[in-house]
Amino acid sequence: MPPNARQLELKDTVGGHRGAETGSSRYSATIRHGDLLARLTVASRHPFDRLLIVQALDEGLTILTSDRAFEPYRVPVVWA
């Protein structure tokens, strides 16, 4: 790092994650997910939906949604 560069210290502004209590987990976007995004067909133009799709495909997750934009993808969905 250049001598005049400063590092930002990021803190969780939302609060503590309660995954153990709710049965949920955090999933970070990885470089692999970015690579998968580049190869994903563009049925959905929503970047967050596309990220959820590649994470679900890569991590073996199921998406809970009522949004029919997920239908064209081969991702497990529980329709709400």
Average pLDDT over residues 3-10: 61
Two tokens, residue 24? 């949920």
| Mean of per-residue pLDDT scores for the chain | 78
For the stretch 11-31, pLDDT in tens is 554 445 445 555 666 778 888
SS3 at position 63: strand
| C-alpha to C-alpha distances, 15 to 1, 8, 24, 28, nearest whole angstrom | 30, 19, 15, 16
pLDDT at 38: 86
Q: Is the pTM of this model over 0.75?
A: no
